[in-house]
Structure 1
Amino acid sequence: MFGKPRTHVGFVLDDALGARGRMAAVLPHLRSRATVLGPVGVDVPLDAAVEQVPVNGPAEVLAWVARERPDLLFVDGPDSLVLAAALGEVPVATLLRHGERSEERDLVHEVAHGLLAPYPRAFAPRSTGPIDEARVQHVGWLPAPLGPAPSPLPAAGSSDARRTMVVVTGRRGAGVEPADLRAAAAATPGWRWLIAGETTVAPAPGLEPLGVRHDLLAVLRAADAVVAGASLSTVAAVAAADVPMLAVPRSGRRGAEDEFAALLGALGAAVPLHRWPAPEQWDELLDGAARMDRASLREGWDGGSPLRAATALDGWAGAAAGGAPDPDRRARLLAWASAGDLPDVPDALAGAGVPMVGT
């Protein structure tokens, strides 16, 4: 007897480092066949056995869906990308994210076949509307894998007794001015400050830019404290590295980092900051971060999160195989697209050969 055919999962990514890190953690544990769809020109280092398809926008994602008909699309990107992908009439899964409630976010929760929560249950967002908990899988922290050969950090001198602070700015920056970084470093002579990510700050006494690092976990494991935005990927790496954190939420992102930073503070996982501190505040803040127990952060990282996430995706793909499209849901999605959020999507659907409602 032949077994069931292998399910097929498409990973749809935006250009964020966190999305690619989560994907790289999950893929080695996935039983389903995987195809990775990412922006044109963005390098996604993967095993050669994983199919990669460069796409530039929702229309090209929908064209691929029309050709390949995967059992599940896992979309790690903004709500608009999730909803556009859902128009392809295949089941869609995405992350359960923090941030302000909106009609668009509510529609994401309605249409998603599965919602992956890459954090412990205690850190779940408080701002969501009603959600079917049966579709939510809390897997624990999901940091990017360490990789086979992480780059070493700049060596301190043999007589250098300073502790190491890492400021994570990522690819999009942290919204902090170079003058503020220089002032913080000057005010804390017992620390050397390393900047991991995009920055325009020049090297200065006590201040060393590292550039964008794809081995963030290795960098954080060599740190005594970290200052970073409250993104899912950065907090996951902090949890895996077990290092004290001061969380400075970046603006925008529909309040996602503001809500997450507040949760981290309420649960004793990090020191939440509403703005970049004045130079004279740093010593007290760093002492407070070092004294935090951080048990709630450590409890969410046991090394098994990537396997649990892959198991959830495999399960959703298998349960979804052969399911019938929902015309009412599709009508609501098309109404959303035509209302101005993605006005070109109906034309893209027609161009991709995806049938419209009632056809």
Structure 2
Amino acid sequence: MIAYYVHHQGSGHVHRASSIAAQARTPVVGLSGRPRPAGWTGDWVDLPDDSDGVDASSRDVTAGGTLHWVPRRHAGLAERMRRVSETVARASLVVVDVSVEVALLARLHGVPVVVVAQPGERTDRPHRTAYDLAERILAPWPVRPAGGWPDGWTAKTVHLGALSRFDAHPAPAAGDPCRVLVLWGRGGIDVGPDRIAAAAAATPGHRWVVAGPHPGPGAWPANLTWLGWVDDVWAELSAAGVVVTHAGQNALAEVAAARRPAVVVPQRRPFGEQDATAAALARAGIAEPTGSWPEPAAWPALLARAAQRGGTGWDAWSTGTGAARAAALLDGLAA
């Protein structure tokens, strides 16, 4: 059995885990603070909250800088780790996406660990512990230089390319060139609705639709529609001529699967995760990355450049086979 820990923040971790588990021959048990995802066929272990009521300034949550989150005498953390221990002790392999603490706990049970890497600066002491102890490191992006990574990490890293729940879908035909999809995620957004409205107002020849949190009633431009969170993201991607999105791995994987022209606006994340990804896209010439949300006057030219660039560059970012490759590797390690 493979035990697969899924981080609760955002939706990318659970989409990635679901895609890989669906391709694996070995039974996969999920562990997470998130609910069991639709379509998950194996067992699912619900993990309690380990942050409720925590004052990070007074509970030594990093254990002197050796870990990322271990608040003292927290009942939720204690029960969470008990449930993890109970599961990983029965496993032949543990996949961690992502938690330094779970990776260390699993290895202390004598179980081999595969760590899913995150972009950004990951050479702090806790990340070094997790990456050092890992049997393999799965990188859900194409091969690219990893500044500051020790040779030992590079040698055991498998670059999968981006993984999307839509990888099995054929890329749709070109969308409406005047339709702009703003695709947000659940991991946090730096851009307020007024700035999106100003961008729409500056591009009256385009129709903007926003898949993400709904701001409620307002004096919004006529060419701006707030969809709220949508169930059928693929339909919105297929209809769009250009996608404006953040630099989270899941959002980019879904844009890549649809091969859509894109403007990528990195959001603030720990360890510079999205900034690192946006920089990689810029180097590869795949999309139109920006350092921050552009001023209204910049949007007409920015959308034109993205449309002219097109979406074929995503071929280098996502082959559509990442989940199958990951599953085959995990099956081999678990055997």
Match of 1:129 in 2: 150
Contact in 2 for aligned 1:144/1:217 (Cα 8 Å):
no
Q: Runs in 1 of length 4+ with deviation above 6 angstroms?
A: none
Equivalent of residue 268 in structure 1, options 273, 285, 291: 285
Q: Max radius of gyration: which structure?
A: 1
Kept in 2, the 8 Å contact 1:109–1:131? The answer is: no
Is 1:91 paired with 2:85? Answer: no
Match for 1:138: what amino acid?
A: H
Please point out which of 225, 229, 239 is paired with 1:222. Answer: 239
Give the gaps of 5 or more residues in structure 1: 1-7, 149-160, 319-359
Contact kept, 8 Å, 2:262 with 2:311, in 1: the verdict is: no
* Structure 2 counterpart SS, 1:258: helix
CA-CA distance at 1:243 after TM superposition: 0.7
Matches within 5 A, 1:178-197: 178-197=193-212
Structure-2 residue corresponding to 1:172: 187
- C-alpha offsets along residues 308-352 of structure 1, whole Å, 9 cap, x if unaligned? 11112212223xxxxxxxxxxxxxxxxxxxxxxxxxxxxxxxxxx
Residue in structure 2 matched with residue 25 of structure 1 by the alignment = 19
Q: Report the alpha carbon displacement of residue 228 of structure 1 after superposing the two structures with TM.
A: 1.4
- 1:147 and 1:197 mapped to 2: Cα distance? 24
Tell me the CA shift for residue 135 of structure 1. 2.2
Equivalent residues in 2 for 1:65-76 (5 A)? 65-68=84-87, 69=89, 70-76=91-97
Partner of 2:30: 36
Amino acid at match of 2:271: R
Residue equivalent to 2:124: 102
Helix, strand or coil for the counterpart of 1:24? helix
1:119 shift after superposition: 1.8
- Whether the aligned pair in 1 keeps the contact of 2:214 and 2:227 (CA below 8 Å) is no
Distance 1:143 1:224, change over 3 A: same
CA distance in 2, matches of 1:278, 1:291: 20
Counterpart in 2 of 1:53?
45
TM-score calculated relative to the size of structure 1: 0.75
Contact 1:97 1:125 in 2 (8 A): no
Alignment of 1:202-281 (within 5 A): 202=217, 204=220, 205-281=222-298
Matches of 2:135 and 2:191 in 1, distance apart? 38
Pick closer, same or farther for the CA change 1:164–1:81 going to 2, 3 Å: farther
Unpaired segments of 5 or more residues in structure 2? 51-76, 170-175
> For the residues of structure 1 that align with 2:168 and 2:225, how far apart are their CA atoms?
23
Alignment partners' CA distance in 2, 1:164 and 1:264? 23
1:138 has 2:155 as partner:
no
Q: Distance in 2 between matches of 1:193 and 1:17?
A: 23
| 1:295 Cα offset (Å) | 4.7
Which residue of 2 is the match for residue 325 of structure 1?
none
Please give the per-residue CA displacement for 1:107-154, whole angstroms capped at 9, x wherever unaligned. 2210112111112213x5434333344421112220124799xxxxxx
Pick closer, same or farther for the CA change 1:298–1:165 going to 2, 3 Å.
same
Output aligned runs, 1:148-159, within 5 Å: none
Query: Could you tell me which residue of structure 2 aligns to residue 111 of structure 1?
Result: 133
Q: 1:253 to 1:132 in 2, by over 3 A?
A: closer
Structure 2 Cα separation of the partners of residues 252 and 304 of structure 1: 28
| Percentage of matched positions with identical amino acids | 30
| 8 A Cα contact 2:167 2:321, kept in partner | no
RMSD: 2.6
State the secondary structure of the residue aligned to 2:3: strand
Distance 2:119 2:36 in 1: 27
- What secondary structure, in the 3-state scheme, does the structure 1 residue paired with 2:184 have? strand
CA distance in 2, matches of 1:217, 1:81: 33
TM-score (norm 2): 0.80
Are the equivalent residues in 2 in contact too, given 1:147–1:215 (CA < 8 A)? no
Contact 2:4–2:31 under 8 Å retained in 1:
yes
Partner amino acid, structure 1, of 2:282: G
**Residue identity in the other structure for 2:7:** D
> What whole-Å deviation, never above 9, does each CA across 1:224-260 have from its counterpart, x for those lacking one?
1111111111111111110111111111321011111
